[in-house]
Chain A
């Protein structure tokens, strides 16, 4: 037939036409990818730079102002502080004057009334970095900046700042003070905490006894006496500890540091209020690096101070970690079992298909809706019922009838369960039919086949689902705000007091911490470096979680060497 039509054959163009080679598409897709990558790299880079800059010890400048400048504090001619930001003034200029300005962290919030100040370039006469300027991190009111005058040591007289021994004596005393502060904290949190827990238990017992009495009668003395004896003994213990703690506290105020502000006035500060002292302009690059690492460590391991704008974020790290762990523990059995039933046991028909569609849609529900559901169902309904059944003596103070780490973990587990179900179903479907048949032919029941052959082979895919679920859950903030996250938690959800894991406690969370610092902080300027640092930390934590899970999945994959996952 082709032979008949050879005279009518269409002649194809000899050269390749541009549009058919697909070159423009290559450029287009590459460009799309590049734009995406550039945005991500820019974002991560911005966070890294700003986040790490929060820890890098900067020098403190002494700025001499021009004649007649009104920029000084209390009409002083000089300013001292860390130069935090350089920017164009956000006002219309006439093009003649230099519109740049500096933001300077001047510290000494309790004296000046503010901690940061904007300074026009035009007002600056001279900038120098004197060696003797001191930066003091304090328990209250943030940092203090000044030159040292002298150190009053109880029982050993006064050492002037010019003395050669001054810096070393100062540092050793600060170390002593810090250790004593740790001891006080240990007494108050651990020892007294233990006593408080026991006393609470006794008080609840007493309440239970009182409640079980007939109205009008009182509890017989024989029952009450042992409780009251125990409480008295605990009270005595407490008194001893309280006395020791107050002894230590008063020792904290034994030594006093006097320093002079740039505005001229002298200030006195009890050493007990000092967290850290440094002479920023004297530091070599190595000392700076050491201080940088020290700051990083403090950030990761200490508790926050000053409405979360100073100090560390350790409780938030711990809370995020524990909550993500609990969430994973909750979501894995639910998700895997549900997927197992849908894929292996349920008769494939209309109902199963509807369930699958419903599960997929659940993944698209806004997270705040999950928060509201968690609040209504878990907190009020289930928590309230639990309180009535198991903790009636504590009422009306709710134990589980209020937000807590368990409800937060369960709410997030509910939110991420669709991800796990879908990934598990795909992984189960990827196990080759031959493997299943081989197991059945050996005389295994269906459940034995699933348990011994199918599930292990599907494990890498299931782990993929878990990774996705964890990554999504660890970053969500909106639902948590309703079910158990707080700005500042006095205790950890896991500690050394029985029963060690306190599922009813409220907790701190890194994501919420960022929100709180950024939008609810009383001092936005002081909080800014912390926001970046905490964001960087949260990103790194999630990356770490993912990398860890990917590593486990790769090892499983090598072991099982099959499937597309």
Chain B
């Protein structure tokens, strides 16, 4: 589908890309889920993927750390380059990739272990045993996730005793403990109440100092609040990708405008 243009398009200049997606197709068996996606994700910025249900934003997000590999019968073509290297090449170590590209899920999933053990999980499986390093990482990550003050006295308690918002921040701390380059967030606030949501949104602002954040969200207003760049997807195609304030005030495509103003979706 070719969307109508509402104004002339100036090509978007991203000076420091971290991810280059080029002519990317994704198939669940015979069903095409993503069609010819070409996109550049800027480094150390928050990029949001918006679009109605079933448009493929979560699918695209999960391609970045190859979590879709868990599903049987998928097929990809085209390239996704992380710092220039194709992540779908046959010789790529998926485990290394997932350490560089971390993920926070829609439903928070802390392990049934202590808070401490949750945060250092990524380090332990990478083989880090030094107690000092582990302790320091725990404090640093929990501070960065704005959770340190709330849990510093109960690091050995079970993580499952935290509130929903705290558990999601714990998952964020767990993701950043391994110092990834990119943090993927798949609708991180959809299971949380508004106060917890606002905590996480504030967090994203700080996170982008160190990490690139890509967030999928159903909530347009959230995308407008937190992101620097926004991509609008519809039925598996990338309709528009632009700086957030430009996209939400003066979108180039009519379809984007219809979605943003609530005509459909």
Partners in one complex: yes
Residues of chain A whose beta carbon lies under 8 Å from any beta carbon of chain B? 432, 434-435, 437-445, 448, 452-453, 456-457, 559-562
The 10 closest A-B pairs by CB, nearest first: A434-B109, A443-B99, A438-B109, A441-B103, A560-B112, A442-B122, A443-B98, A444-B125, A561-B160, A448-B125
Q: Given A448-B125, A562-B160, does the pair A440, B98 have CB atoms closer than 8 Å?
A: yes
Select B112's contact among A442, A443, A448, A457, beta carbons within 8 Å.
A457
Complex Cα gap A442–B98 (Å): 6
Residues of chain B whose beta carbon lies under 8 Å from any beta carbon of chain A? 65, 67, 70, 95-96, 98-99, 102-103, 105, 107, 109-113, 121-122, 124-126, 158, 160, 171, 174-175, 178
CB-defined A-B contacts under 8 Å, sample of 24: A432-B109, A434-B105, A434-B109, A437-B70, A438-B105, A438-B110, A440-B98, A441-B67, A441-B98, A441-B105, A442-B98, A442-B102, A442-B122, A442-B125, A442-B174, A443-B95, A443-B122, A444-B122, A444-B125, A452-B121, A452-B125, A559-B158, A561-B112, A561-B160
Expressed in whole angstroms, the minimum distance between the Cβ of A443 and any Cβ of chain B is 4
Complex Cα gap A439–B158 (Å): 17
**Do B175 and A441 touch across chains, with their CB atoms under 8 A apart?**
yes
Complex Cα gap A560–B110 (Å): 11
* Chain B: CB-nearest residue to A558: B158
**Do A441 and B102 touch across chains, with their CB atoms under 8 A apart?**
yes
**Do A434 and B107 touch across chains, with their CB atoms under 8 A apart?**
yes
B111 / chain A contacts, CB cutoff of 8 Å: 435, 438-439, 453, 457
A443 / chain B contacts, CB cutoff of 8 Å: 95-96, 98-99, 122, 125-126, 178
Expressed in whole angstroms, the minimum distance between the Cβ of A426 and any Cβ of chain B is 18
A562 / chain B contacts, CB cutoff of 8 Å: 112, 160
A439 / chain B contacts, CB cutoff of 8 Å: 111, 121
Complex Cα gap A456–B124 (Å): 16
Of A443, A452, A453, A562, most buried by chain B (CB within 10 Å of CB) is: A443
Expressed in whole angstroms, the minimum distance between the Cβ of B164 and any Cβ of chain A is 13
Expressed in whole angstroms, the minimum distance between the Cβ of B97 and any Cβ of chain A is 8
Complex Cα gap A10–B122 (Å): 66
Of B102, B111, B126, B175, most buried by chain A (CB within 10 Å of CB) is: B111
Complex Cα gap A434–B158 (Å): 17
**Do A438 and B70 touch across chains, with their CB atoms under 8 A apart?**
no
Of A440, A445, A457, A561, most buried by chain B (CB within 10 Å of CB) is: A440
Complex Cα gap A562–B167 (Å): 15
B99 / chain A contacts, CB cutoff of 8 Å: 442-443
**Do B105 and A437 touch across chains, with their CB atoms under 8 A apart?**
yes
A456 / chain B contacts, CB cutoff of 8 Å: 112-113
Expressed in whole angstroms, the minimum distance between the Cβ of A478 and any Cβ of chain B is 41
B174 / chain A contacts, CB cutoff of 8 Å: 438, 442
A441 / chain B contacts, CB cutoff of 8 Å: 65, 67, 98, 102-103, 105, 175
Expressed in whole angstroms, the minimum distance between the Cβ of B129 and any Cβ of chain A is 14
Expressed in whole angstroms, the minimum distance between the Cβ of A441 and any Cβ of chain B is 4
B103 / chain A contacts, CB cutoff of 8 Å: 441
Given A439-B111, A560-B112, 4 other A-B residues pairs in contact with their CB atoms under 8 A:
A443-B178, A559-B112, A559-B158, A562-B112
B112 / chain A contacts, CB cutoff of 8 Å: 435, 456-457, 559-562
Complex Cα gap A138–B217 (Å): 87
* Chain B: CB-nearest residue to A449: B125
Complex Cα gap A561–B99 (Å): 28
A560 / chain B contacts, CB cutoff of 8 Å: 112
A445 / chain B contacts, CB cutoff of 8 Å: 95, 125
Expressed in whole angstroms, the minimum distance between the Cβ of A391 and any Cβ of chain B is 45
Expressed in whole angstroms, the minimum distance between the Cβ of A386 and any Cβ of chain B is 41
Select A438's contact among B125, B158, B171, B178, beta carbons within 8 Å.
B171
Complex Cα gap A562–B161 (Å): 12
B107 / chain A contacts, CB cutoff of 8 Å: 434
Expressed in whole angstroms, the minimum distance between the Cβ of A463 and any Cβ of chain B is 15
A438 / chain B contacts, CB cutoff of 8 Å: 105, 109-111, 171, 174
Complex Cα gap A448–B94 (Å): 14
B122 / chain A contacts, CB cutoff of 8 Å: 442-444
A442 / chain B contacts, CB cutoff of 8 Å: 98-99, 102, 121-122, 125, 174-175, 178
* Chain A: CB-nearest residue to B114: A559
Expressed in whole angstroms, the minimum distance between the Cβ of B125 and any Cβ of chain A is 5
* Chain A: CB-nearest residue to B110: A438
A453 / chain B contacts, CB cutoff of 8 Å: 111
Complex Cα gap A432–B158 (Å): 17
Complex Cα gap A1–B15 (Å): 64
A440 / chain B contacts, CB cutoff of 8 Å: 67, 70, 98
* Chain B: CB-nearest residue to A448: B125
B124 / chain A contacts, CB cutoff of 8 Å: 452
Expressed in whole angstroms, the minimum distance between the Cβ of A325 and any Cβ of chain B is 29
Complex Cα gap A53–B209 (Å): 80
Of A434, A438, A452, most buried by chain B (CB within 10 Å of CB) is: A438
Complex Cα gap A409–B113 (Å): 35
**Do B67 and A437 touch across chains, with their CB atoms under 8 A apart?**
yes
B126 / chain A contacts, CB cutoff of 8 Å: 443
Expressed in whole angstroms, the minimum distance between the Cβ of A467 and any Cβ of chain B is 21
Of A434, A438, A442, most buried by chain B (CB within 10 Å of CB) is: A442
Of B99, B113, B124, B125, most buried by chain A (CB within 10 Å of CB) is: B125
A448 / chain B contacts, CB cutoff of 8 Å: 125
Expressed in whole angstroms, the minimum distance between the Cβ of A559 and any Cβ of chain B is 7
A561 / chain B contacts, CB cutoff of 8 Å: 112, 158, 160
Complex Cα gap A560–B161 (Å): 11
**Do A437 and B109 touch across chains, with their CB atoms under 8 A apart?**
yes
B96 / chain A contacts, CB cutoff of 8 Å: 443
Complex Cα gap A259–B121 (Å): 79
A559 / chain B contacts, CB cutoff of 8 Å: 112, 158
Expressed in whole angstroms, the minimum distance between the Cβ of B4 and any Cβ of chain A is 39
* Chain A: CB-nearest residue to B95: A443
* Chain A: CB-nearest residue to B126: A443
* Chain A: CB-nearest residue to B96: A443
Complex Cα gap A448–B126 (Å): 10
* Chain B: CB-nearest residue to A438: B109
Complex Cα gap A30–B154 (Å): 48
Expressed in whole angstroms, the minimum distance between the Cβ of A373 and any Cβ of chain B is 38
Expressed in whole angstroms, the minimum distance between the Cβ of B192 and any Cβ of chain A is 15
* Chain B: CB-nearest residue to A347: B72
B175 / chain A contacts, CB cutoff of 8 Å: 441-442
Complex Cα gap A509–B227 (Å): 72
B95 / chain A contacts, CB cutoff of 8 Å: 443-445
Q: Given A441-B65, A443-B125, does the pair A435, B109 have CB atoms closer than 8 Å?
A: yes
A444 / chain B contacts, CB cutoff of 8 Å: 95, 121-122, 125
